[in-house]
Amino acid sequence: MKLNKLPLNVIGLNRVGLNQIGSPSRRANTSDRPYIDPEVLASLVAVCICDGKSNDDPDRAVIKNLVDPDNPFIISNAAFKLNSGYGKYEEDFTDWIIYPNIKVTDSVITTDGNFKSSWFIYKHSSESKINEMNIKVSGIPKGGKILYIYISDETANLPIAYTIPKDGIYHLPESKINNNRASVGFTVESRYDWNNIRIEQIPSFEGAFVTDGKDDLITSTKTVKEMLGGSNEVTVVSMMLNLENEKITYTNQIRPFQNGYIRNNVISNTGGKYGIYGYKITDITDIFKNRISINDILGDRKDYSTDAGGTVRIDGKFSVEGYCFNDGTIGEMSQVAWYWTFISNKVLTTDQINQVISYFNLDKHVKPDIIYDTIRQSITNENHASFNDELVDFSGNGHNMKIYNSAWNKESGINDEGAWQTDGVSDYGNVENLPILKDYTVAIERRWITSPVDKNQCLAFKGHTNDWGAFACEFSNAGQLRSYTFSPSYNILQSYNEKSLVYQSKYSYSGTPIVASASIDGSTLRLCLPRGGFPFYANVAIKMFLLFPYSLSEFLIERQLKRYKLGTLYPDMVEFRPIVKSNREYSSISYSVNPGEYISVDSMVTITVTLSNTSDKLIDVSCNAISDISISGDNGVYKITGKVVKSPQKIDITIDEYIRYEDIVQPYPAIINLKQDGKTITWGDKLKVGSDIVFVGSANLLPELYTVSETRYNGVTLYPNTIIKVEKSMVFDNARTYLKANEPSCILSPNRLRIPNSSYKILGYIPDLTGKGNHGKLNNFAYAGMSGANGYVEDFTKWSKNSSLDDVEITYDRIKVNKLTRSTVLYVTSNKFINKIKIVASGIPNGGKLTFTQYPDNAIENNKEFEIGGVTTTGSWGFSIKEGLNLDWSNLVIQQIGEHEGSICFDGTDDHITISNIIGGKCIMAKVTVNRNSGIIYDQRRANVPNKSWMQLNPSSVIFEQNAVSTYIDGILNHNVTGSDLVSKTVNLTCELEIGDTSGTYQPTIGSSYAVGYTTNINLYEFMLFPDVPNEEEIKELNDVMGIENNIEVS
C-alpha cells in the first residue's frame, strides 16, 4: 500500500524477512505456525515470496521457492532500481550530484565519517525534478536539522525548505522543474557532527517486486508440466497490485506457445488496486469446462477473471505477468507490484487456500489505511484535550479523526466501556484529505444506544462532504436500514447485524450481498453523520474502526482483527478446525461442518471416518476441544459425534486392525476351525491383528470326494490345538487328494458352506471347493430376500425400533441387539401383513424372557425354531422383553430361517453366476430347485454358435434336448421330463455338453445365457463342472454325494 502524501512522524515498520517464515515441514503442527493440512502442504509445488529481498542482494534475481528449492522464480531483464525492482523507489540517488565523503546506493545515503560539507546530495532544479517520496532518517545530532530543499511550483523563483529536525519517517513533496538553476536536495548546517547519518527511501510497495511493463519477467524455473508431476489439476493464487490504467493486464500466465493459454485478466482502469486472485482447474486438458476463477479473497472481484484459449500446453514455464514463449518471445507485459505466488498440483478449496495464506503469512502486507481503537488510545472524558479531541489513527498514516460537539460525559463522550459514545443529536467525527477509494472494507465495533429502526442515523460514511462516495454503512431512514456502496442508490437490508462487530465491503454487509455501482469517492470520512443534507446523527457507542482500501474476505478480516487485537467477527463462537491424528492410516474423513467455519460453542458435529479396510475397527477417540464424544458404525465406516467447545480440535483416533473371517484364505475342500476365548470363529466374525487364536483343526466339506492332510498357515505346518498369531494376511492350505478318476474343475456348494448373505456380499463369490480358485462370481444379487442365500420372505428392515437410543443392527433377515433401553426390540405397526416365517434366537440371557406379540405367553428359547406371522397385525406387533430388561441383552440375535436353506436363490431378472479362468467342461452336475419353466440354467458358449453347450428350459419340450448332448435327472437318463414338469421340484441335473468354440471371451454362466439374457428362476444347492464325462456308475455315486430328493419320475 502506498504511503499517503502527508507529513508523517512515526510509522511502525516491521521488515520481517523470509527467515521468519522458515522452511515448511512436511509434518504439520511441529511448531507454533498456523495449522495446514499435511496433504495441502504436500500438494504445493511453488510458494515464492518477494518479502525480504532488496535490489542490492547478490541473488536479487532469484525468488526462493519455499517448497521446492529446485524451482525458484527467476527475474529477468530488470534494472533493479526505480520502477524495475523491489519496492519501487521513486528516486535513484546515484543519479544525483554527490558531495565528498557521502556514500550512496540507489536508495540509501550515508556519511563515511569524514563529512565536513553542507550538502549531502543535490540536483539542479532547471535540469530535473525530484519525485515525491517517503524516507526514514537516523543519526541527526542534537540541535541539528536536515533541510530538504525543493521547488513547489514551476513558476516559483525561490526554493522551499522542508525541515527534518529529528530521526523519523517523513514524506517529501515533489520538487518541480523551473528555469532557475537552483540546488535542490539535502543540506545541513556544517557546525554539527553529521557523520552517522542514514537517509533511506521507503519503497512505495514494500515487500513487492515492481515490473516496468516493458520486458521485466518473473518466471518459474521448472515447466508447469514438471511442477504438476502428472496431475491434471492446478491451483494458482497470487497477490499483486495493478499499476496499469489504460489497458488490460494479463497475469498468472501458462503460455509456452502462441496457441493455447490460461491466464488471469485484470480489467483496465484498475491502476492502484490490489488483489489476491488466481484460478483453479479441475482438468487442465479441458480448460473451457473445468476452470474456476479465484477472486473473492482480496480486492474487487469484478476486476479479475480467468481466460483461456486453444488447447493449453503445460510444457513451458509459468509467468507472473505477460508471457514468455519457449522460443524466448515475450509479450503482454504490464506494470505490476508482485508480492507472492503459490501453485498447487491439486484443486484447493477456499479453506485450504486460506490455510496456505495463514501458514506462510501471505497477508503480511495487507494493511489498513485507518485504525481507531479507543481502548488502546486510553482516551477519557478527562484527558480528551491532550489528544486534541481526536481519535488517534494507529495505522501510522496520520488520519486522526476530530470529534465534534461532544459534552465529554458518559452519554456524550467516553462511556463506562471505554467506547466513544455519541448523543444522537449533534455529536460526530470527521477527517478530511483521505485517499480516494476504488474498493474498501470497513469494520466497526459498535453498540447502538437507539436502534436504527427507531431513529434516522448513520454509523459511518466515506465520500464527498455533500455527495455520496465509497460507502454509507448502517444508514437508517424512516425505519428502513440501508447500505450505500459506490452509488447514490441504496441497498435495503432486512435487519442490521446484531453482533457488536460489523463490516461492510464493496459487495457485502456482514455477509449479506449488496449491489455496488460506479460513483466516484470523496476524501471525507465521518462517523455518526453522513454527507450534507442528511442530519442523521447516530446514537451509538464505538470502540474500534478499521478501514482498508480493498475488499477482504471474512477470513482476512478476522486475521486483521486478531493481528491488531481488535476483537472478532465471531463472538461466542469457535472455529471448526479439526486436526486429526491416527495410529493407523484411514481412507477418508468428512465433516458435517466445513473446516474453517465458525460455529456456536457446544454445537454438535459429526465426523465420518472411512477406514482403509472394512474389517478394521475405530475403537477410541479423544479430543481436547470436543465433549460428549460418541462413536457408532461398523464395516469400516464410523461416525464420531460430539460438542465443540474450543478451537482447534486436536482429535486422536485409535484404529485396531482386524481381519475378517471372509478374508482368510481357506484350505478348500476343507475349512478351518478357529477359536478365540472359547468362541468358535465363523462367517461374519473379525479377528484383531496381533491377537492369539487357537487352530483347532480343519473340517473336510467333501469327505466322499477328497482326503486332506497337513494344514499349513502362511507356509508353516499346523497341528490341532496350536496357538497362532492373527496376521493381516492369513493363508491356509493343505495337501489334498481326489478319490475318484475325474476331478471336477469347479465345485460350488452353497449347501455345504452355509455362508450368510452378509458374507457373500463381502466375498462376491461362492468359493470353489476344489481348491483351484475357480470361484463362482455373484453378479447382480441383492443379498437379501429371494436374491441371495437361503431365500427370505419377511424384510426386517421395514420394521421399526422403539427408541432412537437403542442400538439394534437390522438386515433383511437378521436382528442383532447391541443395546436396549426399552422392552420392545423391533415391531411392525397395525394392519400390516407378516409373512409366515421361522426364526431362531440366540443370546437370550439367563432369567430373560423374549416373546412375540402374536403368541404373548410363549417364550422364545435359545437356538430353537419359533414360527410367527402368516397373519395381519391387529396392533403394534413385535419382539419384546417380557422379563429381565435389566439383564444383558447385548448378545441377542434373531435370525430368520430361509425358505430354501443351503441354496443361492436367483431372482429370474438379472442374477447370474460366472466362472472365470476356465472355458467350460464336458459335463456339469447341479442340484437345483426350478421355480420357472423357462430360461437358461447353464451356458458355456463363448460366442453365439449352434453347439450343444448350454441348458435351456422350455415349457413343453424335453429339457435340454436341443442344446445338450444328454441329460440325467437324479442319475437317470431323461427322455420325457419337460420344463413345466420341473417347476417346484428339487432335482439333480447331469448334462453332457460340448466344449464348442473356445475363441470367444464369454465365461461359463449359471442362471443366464452367456450374454446375460434368458435368465431363470432357480435355487442352486450344488454345482460341479467336469473336464470329462463321468461314467454312469460315477454319475450315480456323485448324485448320492449331492443328495437325491426323488420327487419326480424320470424315464
pLDDT digits (tens, 9 = 90+) for 624-663: 999 999 999 988 999 999 999 999 999 999 999 999 999 9
Closest CA to 482 of 493, 467, 497, 498: 493
Closest CA to 429 of 467, 462, 466: 462
Q: Which residues contact 716 (CB under 8 A, 6 or more apart)?
A: none
- Helix, strand, or coil here: 675? strand
Per-residue pLDDT at 995 exceeds 90: no
- Helix, strand, or coil here: 184? strand
Sign for the pseudo-dihedral over CA of 498, 503, 509, 513: negative
User: Which CB contacts under 8 angstroms, 24+ apart, belong to 944-950?
Assistant: 944/1011, 945/996, 945/997, 947/994, 947/996, 947/997, 948/993, 948/994, 948/996, 949/920, 949/993, 949/994, 949/995, 949/996, 950/993, 950/1009, 950/1010
Q: What is the pLDDT of residue 11?
A: 25
**CA dist list (Å): 857 to 311, 823, 880, 883:** 78, 16, 12, 12
Per-residue pLDDT at 24 exceeds 50: no
Per-residue pLDDT at 477 exceeds 60: yes
| Total residues belonging to the chain | 1051
Q: What is the mean pLDDT of residues 761-779?
A: 97
Q: What is the pLDDT of residue 8?
A: 26
Per-residue pLDDT at 5 exceeds 90: no
Q: What is the pLDDT of residue 285?
A: 86
> In whole angstroms, what separates CA 335 from the centre of its chain?
35
Q: What is the pLDDT of residue 811?
A: 94
Q: What is the mean pLDDT of residues 936-947?
A: 87
Residue 256 preceded by cis peptide, ω within 30:
no
Q: What is the pLDDT of residue 22?
A: 32
Q: What is the mean pLDDT of residues 991-997?
A: 86
Q: Packing angle between helix 350-359 and helix 554-563, nearest 10 degrees?
A: 30
Phi, psi of 354 (to 5 degrees): -60, -40
**CA dist list (Å): 892 to 813, 820, 833, 855:** 14, 10, 25, 19
Task: Report residue 351 as a C-alpha cell.
Answer: 479453506
pLDDT per position as a tens digit, 864-893? 999 999 999 999 999 999 999 999 999 999
Q: What is the pLDDT of residue 944?
A: 80
881 and 821 in contact (C-beta within 8 Å)?
no
Does this model's pTM top 0.85?
no
Q: What band does 25 get if pLDDT is binned at 50, 70 and 90?
A: very low
Q: What is the pLDDT of residue 31?
A: 52
Q: What is the pLDDT of residue 998?
A: 73
Task: Report residue 608 as a C-alpha cell.
Answer: 465420518
Q: What is the pLDDT of residue 163?
A: 96
Q: What band does 747 get if pLDDT is binned at 50, 70 and 90?
A: very high
Task: Supply the mean pLDDT for the chain.
Answer: 92
pLDDT per position as a tens digit, 275-310? 999 999 999 888 878 899 999 999 999 999 999 988
Q: What is the pLDDT of residue 114?
A: 87
Per-residue pLDDT at 791 exceeds 70: yes
Percent of the chain with pLDDT over 70: 97
pLDDT per position as a tens digit, 109-151? 999 888 988 999 999 999 999 999 999 999 999 999 999 999 9
Residue with cell 462516495: 469
* Burial group, residue 870, by CB count within 10 angstroms (0-12, 13-18, 19+): exposed
297 and 238 in contact (C-beta within 8 Å)?
no
Report the alpha-carbon distance of residue 618 to residue 652 in Å, rounded: 11
What domains lie within the chain, and their CATH numbers? 35-83+208-359 (2.60.120.200), 91-202 (2.60.120), 370-563 (2.60.120.200), 575-656 (no CATH), 660-739 (no CATH), 796-897 (2.60.120), 904-1042 (no CATH)
Closest CA to 911 of 1035, 812, 998, 785: 785
**Residue 741 or residue 211, greater confidence:** 211
